[in-house]
Amino acid sequence: MGSPSTEIFARNWSIYQEVSKCNYMSHHDFFNEIRSFFQEKPVDDKPLDVLDCGCGDAWMLSKLLKGRNVNSFTGYDMSETALSYAQKNLKPLECYLSLLGGPMEKLIKKADKDFDLIYSSFAIHHLQDEEKKIFLADLYNHLKIGGTLIVIDIMRDDTLDRHEYLEEYIENIGMTWHTVTESDKELVYDHIRNFDFPAKTSEFISWLEERRFSITEKYEPDSRNVMITATKQ
């Protein structure tokens, strides 16, 4: 299972692991922010049904959910390689596990349950804007009342068009991803130029609001990556 847009993750998952480990895309900051968010919520009496769209190896959520009352974890990803890592990382949650290979925007339409927590990190930017809007509507339809949506992604501010944002992103990679080899960086640049379609943050928020999500937080640890949390009331 896969497509050219996910090839880099299937063949080179170790590059992405290095990027996460070294915090080049602020993974550590997002991790801490979500951990605080979870700590503010009392441990739920009722077991959580969790959906992770574009879960990759699910390492972050698997760590954040450890010790919480998780009933089920559903993960969608186009990369079978990533899903095999996710299977191992999620085992300690000791919950019902459903890891499905394929496009999340299609799989969500077939989902036969609703979720307490829907999470997606660094995956939605692979969709075109029209697809993103439809996808967000489908997420809303599958979020339980009182449930939480957490989206982490690359997003741009109103002043930058896609080309300007991506070239600035690439320039920053060149200057700061010190432990990634030049040939691996070239693979990343190629992937970004061909397959990344970051939304404007302001538009993304307005699409959520149009779908009647209530925005609860916008967190920007740097100028390139954003986390937005929302609820369904």
Ligand X SMILES: C[S@@+](CC[C@H](N)C(=O)[O-])C[C@H]1O[C@@H](n2cnc3c(N)ncnc32)[C@H](O)[C@@H]1O
Which positions touch ligand X (CB under 6 A)?
A: 5-6, 9, 16, 20, 54-56, 60, 76-79, 82, 103-105, 121-123, 126
Nearer to ligand X, 9 or 45 (CB): 9
Instruction: Report, in Å, the least distance between residue 31 CB and ligand X.
Output: 10
Element (H, E) at 101: strand 96-101
Instruction: Report, in Å, the least distance between residue 233 CB and ligand X.
Output: 26
Nearer to ligand X, 125 or 232 (CB): 125
Nearer to ligand X, 127 or 143 (CB): 127
Instruction: Report, in Å, the least distance between residue 103 CB and ligand X.
Output: 4
Residue 118 buriedness (CB in 10 A; 0-12 / 13-18 / 19+): buried
Distances (CA, A) of 139 to 8, 33, 50, 74, 225: 26, 22, 12, 13, 21
Instruction: Report, in Å, the least distance between residue 107 CB and ligand X.
Output: 7
Long-range pairs for 126-129 at CB < 8 Å and ≥24 separation? 126/5, 126/6, 126/54, 126/195, 126/196, 126/197, 127/197, 128/197, 129/197, 129/199, 129/203
Rounded to 5°, angle at Cα 192 from 26 and 127: 90
Instruction: Report, in Å, the least distance between residue 70 CB and ligand X.
Output: 17
Closest CA to 129 of 78, 194, 204: 204
**Tokens, residue 2:** 């896969």
Q: Which residue is nearest to ligand X (CB)?
A: 56
Nearer to ligand X, 79 or 230 (CB): 79
Nearer to ligand X, 126 or 142 (CB): 126
Nearer to ligand X, 116 or 153 (CB): 153
